[in-house]
């Protein structure tokens, strides 16, 4: 144990003391920082990127934008001032617009003095004697903090595919989630894109506009819906501002935390004619409303789901001219059990003469060479390769940090057989470590800025309770993770998510546990969090001795 202390926390004046350290400057991290600072804690946020924004800092690929008709709702809901002072321009804001919003928030809430950018946390060890986390940055700085809050993002650990020869490619290789800040030029180049998830589908039409030739390497065809982006109307903003409180009340009870009414009808209640007319209206309007404003059983009833699958397949047949390309593009999995994509001219792009589609299910990649990609049936010479290959989602970033908890047990070992947490916010054996959007919380299947606010509030209240009661540590009691995991799996089993290999269940990463790690309970989940807090943190063990708070010392 003493070894652990010595390893990351040399005693002496070079150790920086904080009450709380937050990792990650996306929506969730900025909010946690704000709340913890407001309660008077000595808190610092560390961020590896060169600016705030999290996923909106890194995903600068062409075409990146919010995939929900969201302005002004893909934003913080807690502050009327923020809503009134930021002018959203587009219904589905671009990456640049969301980034400028988060910059505006960081300035408005005066967060920047508490943020250290371009700093990666590379080690975090819980010191059982001091009851504090000892942290080391890649710059060699040593930090001691009572509480450690991971807001490292759910889709932040890029998945570099394990394709033979990938490091031999002589041209530029860019992952969509690590897009450079400077402009990437495609003109005059033969570009390859691997992957047709949301990032591929958003970027492919934009890349096709510039590239001399584009080859798309597709493993699974997708059901994409037109985005229907447009300028946000002044009356929409005025309405949001006028109904600030009402909107929050609505979001609290909405299954996805969204300020939109959801349909209460089954897709099987309508005749095919009525159903297709509704789908057509929603298709023309664009966006994910097609899933939520159409019928309530698309994700629970396969026959209902099939109706929308077939509607979209018919759209693909009508848009794409070449029958061979149509065949390759027709999806056959259960719609929306992989994250639903939206697009701006995606299927139309395949009508362009300079765009080719390789169906990797028939013609798999054999290797990547210096000059391009070799598939079973041929050579594809390339000057540039875009990896739209997704992420080691939800658990990847925390596992890369691999914090060490009680007894020096590291997270990778603790999660060796399966992922387990309590409430998706804490991990047995890792005291005073909180996760926002952790595995087994609603995270990616809920309104993320709003969910992050509610989890941030819960963490703030929990820390306040510990302080008020002179309690040094909090951690899940032995055994509470089992029923929680069952609860999460049980909710997923009521849906169609189980029928599909997706990143929700770890299927996209070789060797990752095949476990559905998103809590589908929505409002029930947040009610459960509140209940636990009201019962003085039922299910947690509270350590009696108090560690000295840095703010109290200061």
Q: Which residues bind ligand NAP (CB under 6 A)?
A: 65-67, 155, 161, 163, 176, 194-200, 202, 219-220, 339, 360, 388-391, 444, 503, 508
Give CA–CA dist 407/146, Å, rounded: 17
Give 59 or 77: the residue with its C-beta nearer to ligand NAP.
59
Q: Which of 464, 472, 543, 545 is CA-nearest to residue 40?
A: 464
Determine contact, residues 430/406, Cβ cutoff 8 Å: yes
Distances (CA, A) of 264 to 180, 215, 286, 465, 549: 44, 42, 20, 40, 50
Q: How many angstroms from the chain centroid is the CA of residue 530?
A: 23
Give 391 or 537: the residue with its C-beta nearer to ligand NAP.
391
Give 296 or 389: the residue with its C-beta nearer to ligand NAP.
389
Give CA–CA dist 137/135, Å, rounded: 7
Residue for token pair 């992922």? 419
Sequence-distant (6+) residues with CB within 8 A of 413 are: none
Give 146 or 196: the residue with its C-beta nearer to ligand NAP.
196
Give 142 or 339: the residue with its C-beta nearer to ligand NAP.
339
Q: How many angstroms from the chain centroid is the CA of residue 184?
A: 24
Give 179 or 434: the residue with its C-beta nearer to ligand NAP.
179
Shortest-Cβ-distance residue relative to ligand NAP: 197
Determine contact, residues 504/395, Cβ cutoff 8 Å: no
Determine contact, residues 421/435, Cβ cutoff 8 Å: yes
Give the shortest CB-231-to-ligand NAP separation in angstroms.
Answer: 18
Give 56 or 86: the residue with its C-beta nearer to ligand NAP.
56
Give the shortest CB-184-to-ligand NAP separation in angstroms.
Answer: 16
Give the shortest CB-345-to-ligand NAP separation in angstroms.
Answer: 15
CA atoms within 13 A on the CB side of 55: 23
Give 192 or 431: the residue with its C-beta nearer to ligand NAP.
192
Determine contact, residues 34/149, Cβ cutoff 8 Å: no
Give the shortest CB-99-to-ligand NAP separation in angstroms.
Answer: 13
Sequence-distant (6+) residues with CB within 8 A of 333 are: 220, 499, 500
Give the shortest CB-460-to-ligand NAP separation in angstroms.
Answer: 27
Give the shortest CB-227-to-ligand NAP separation in angstroms.
Answer: 9
121: tokens are 């946390």
Give the shortest CB-291-to-ligand NAP separation in angstroms.
Answer: 13
Give 428 or 442: the residue with its C-beta nearer to ligand NAP.
442
Give CA–CA dist 244/353, Å, rounded: 49
340: tokens are 């639903």
Q: Which of 90, 241, 231 is CA-nearest to residue 100?
A: 90
To 10 degrees, what angle do helices 234-242 and 244-253 make? 80
């Amino acid at each position: 144990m003493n070894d652990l202390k010595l390893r990351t926390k040399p005693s002496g004046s070079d150790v920086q003391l904080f009450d709380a350290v937050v990792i990650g400057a996306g929506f969730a991290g900025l909010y946690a920082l704000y709340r913890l600072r407001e309660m008077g804690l000595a808190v610092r946020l560390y961020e590896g990127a060169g600016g705030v924004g999290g996923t909106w800092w890194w995903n600068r690929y062409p075409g990146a934008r919010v995939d929900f008709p969201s302005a002004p709702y893909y934003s913080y809901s807690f502050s009327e001032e923020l809503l009134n002072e930021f002018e959203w321009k587009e219904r589905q804001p671009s990456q640049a617009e969301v980034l400028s919003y988060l910059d505006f928030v960081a300035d408005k809430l005066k967060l920047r003095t508490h943020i250290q950018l371009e700093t990666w946390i590379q080690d975090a060890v819980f010191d059982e004697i001091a009851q504090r986390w000892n942290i080391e940055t890649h710059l060699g700085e040593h930090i001691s903090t009572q509480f450690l809050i991971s807001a490292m993002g759910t889709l932040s650990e890029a998945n570099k595919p394990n394709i033979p020869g990938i490091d031999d490619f002589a041209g530029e290789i860019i992952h969509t989630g690590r897009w450079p800040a400077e402009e990437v030029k495609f003109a005059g180049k033969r570009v390859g894109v691997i992957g047709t998830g949301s990032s591929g589908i958003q970027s492919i039409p934009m890349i096709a506009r510039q590239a001399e030739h584009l080859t798309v390497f597709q493993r699974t065809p997708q059901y994409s819906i037109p985005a229907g982006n447009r300028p946000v109307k002044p009356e929409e903003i005025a309405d949001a501002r006028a109904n600030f409180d009402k909107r929050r009340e609505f979001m609290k009870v909405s299954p996805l935390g969204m300020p939109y009414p959801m349909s209460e009808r089954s897709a099987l209640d309508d005749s095919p004619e009525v159903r297709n007319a509704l789908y057509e209206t929603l298709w023309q309007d664009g966006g994910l409303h097609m899933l939520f404003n159409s019928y309530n059983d698309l994700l629970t009833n396969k026959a209902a789901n099939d109706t929308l699958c077939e509607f979209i397949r018919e759209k693909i047949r009508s848009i794409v001219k070449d029958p061979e390309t149509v065949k390759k593009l027709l999806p056959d999995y259960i719609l929306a059990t992989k994250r639903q994509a939206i697009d701006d001219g995606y299927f139309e792009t395949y009508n362009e003469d300079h765009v080719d589609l390789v169906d990797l299910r028939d013609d798999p990649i054999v290797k990547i060479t210096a000059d391009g990609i070799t598939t079973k049936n041929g050579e594809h010479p390339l000057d540039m390769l875009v990896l739209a290959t997704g992420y080691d989602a939800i658990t990847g970033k925390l596992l890369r940090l691999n914090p060490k908890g009680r007894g020096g047990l590291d997270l990778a070992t603790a999660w060796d057989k399966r992922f387990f947490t309590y409430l998706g916010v804490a991990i047995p054996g890792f005291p005073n470590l909180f996760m926002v959007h952790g595995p087994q919380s609603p995270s990616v299947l809920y309104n993320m800025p709003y969910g992050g606010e509610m989890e941030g509030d819960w963490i703030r209240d929990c820390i306040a309770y510990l302080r008020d009661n002179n309690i040094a540590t909090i951690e899940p009691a032995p055994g509470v993770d089992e029923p929680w995991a069952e609860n999460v799996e049980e909710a997923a089993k009521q849906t169609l998510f189980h029928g599909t290999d997706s990143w929700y269940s770890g299927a996209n990463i070789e060797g990752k546990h095949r476990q559905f790690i998103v809590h589908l309970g929505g409002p029930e989940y947040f009610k459960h969090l509140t209940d636990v807090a009201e019962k003085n943190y039922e299910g947690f063990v509270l350590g009696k001795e108090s560690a000295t708070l840095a703010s109290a010392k200061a």
